[in-house]
Amino acid sequence: MAWFTIVVFFVRNNILSFFNFETSVLNDVDIKELLVEYDVILPKKRVYPFISAKKHYEKNHNSNDLELLKCVLNEKCPEYVDSFDRVMNRTSIHLYNMFIMNKDNAIAYCEWLFDILFELELKVDIDDYDAYQSRVFGFLSERLLNVWVQHNSLKVKSLNVYEPDGRRYFEKIKKFISNL
């Protein structure tokens, strides 16, 4: 199994974020100021212009895992199923599994998330998954963060993310178009 680390940072929303990394990364003062007005800081949404978040997941991962997740949600916290459906039917979604929120919200989210993921782990068989697809619980938790934020009506500040290694946007666009 290949292990790797992706380093990403939240950056201020300005054009200089892409040219002057050192002065653009959020610091603790920025974060404290933002959390006075917002409940959570998330990466800007990824937009899928022609398909829903659900269809995008199904094209790129095992769709059965998404169905199992919905079943676990229905068993453990049925009040979240409507929010799950709303999130999965949208054409945009926050990814990266990155967030900044106050301690109480972070604890509540993590307790909710890991209760679901531990139950889901008992139902999902990853024996035949490659290294990429075996990250299934990370992919699903990205969706669950959106569900939790939606259900709890949190006020969101979306910020750009800086990736020192860059992104292969052209390759991603080409792959996306070929999957249509």
What are the tokens at 153?
């009506």
Closest to 111 in 3D by CA, of 148, 162, 143: 148
More confident residue, 53 or 16: 53
pLDDT at 53: 97
pLDDT at 10: 63
Q: What is the DSSP letter of 45?
A: P
pLDDT at 142: 97
What pLDDT, in 10s, does the model give residues 134-170? Answer: 999 999 999 999 999 999 999 999 998 876 655 555 5
- In whole angstroms, give the CA distance from residue 138 to residue 142: 6
What pLDDT, in 10s, does the model give residues 72-89? Answer: 999 999 999 999 999 999
Alpha-carbon radius of gyration of the chain: 17
What pLDDT, in 10s, does the model give residues 18-39? Answer: 555 555 778 888 899 999 999 9
Q: Are strands 156-162 and 9-11 parallel, antiparallel or unpaired?
A: antiparallel
Q: What is the DSSP letter of 59?
A: H
pLDDT at 168: 54
Whether pLDDT at 5 is above 50: no
